[in-house]
């Protein structure tokens, strides 16, 4: 019995090492699965936050656009290009 154990010692240790390695790989795979689930939830939260911020920004831009159109309609703002000069800056 001891002689058989001595003859197959390397093979037995290789199988034990393989078993330990497989158990460690299974644990790493479980941790990776948890990390992936956590990251997917975080990405979804960030998508929702970004969508809300984009909607807020769009609303602000619409309001500013509307205000500019109102001011332009009342004649409070004039456009000056390279051919015209604002009042008080004559040549």
Quick check: 62 pLDDT over 60?
yes
Residue 79 resides in a domain: no
Give the structural domain span for 57: 2-74
Longest CA pairwise span in the chain (Å): 114
Q: Which two tokens stand for residue 79?
A: 């456009």
Output the pLDDT for position 41: 97
Q: Which two tokens stand for residue 64?
A: 């500013």
Residue 89 resides in a domain: no
Output the pLDDT for position 84: 57
Residue 83 resides in a domain: no
**Full-model pTM:** 0.52
Q: Which of 22-31, 56-65, 69-78 has the lowest mean pLDDT?
A: 69-78
Residue 84 resides in a domain: no
Instruction: Please state the domain count of the chain.
Output: 1
């Amino acid at each position: 019995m001891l002689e058989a154990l001595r003859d197959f010692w390397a093979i037995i240790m290789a199988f034990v090492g393989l078993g330990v390695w497989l158990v460690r790989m299974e644990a790493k795979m479980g941790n990776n699965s948890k990390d992936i689930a956590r990251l997917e939830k975080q990405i979804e939260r960030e998508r929702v936050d970004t969508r809300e911020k984009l909607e807020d920004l769009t609303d602000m831009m619409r309001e500013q656009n509307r205000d500019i159109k109102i001011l332009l309609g009342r004649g409070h703002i004039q456009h000056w290009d390279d051919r015209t000069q604002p009042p008080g800056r004559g040549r």
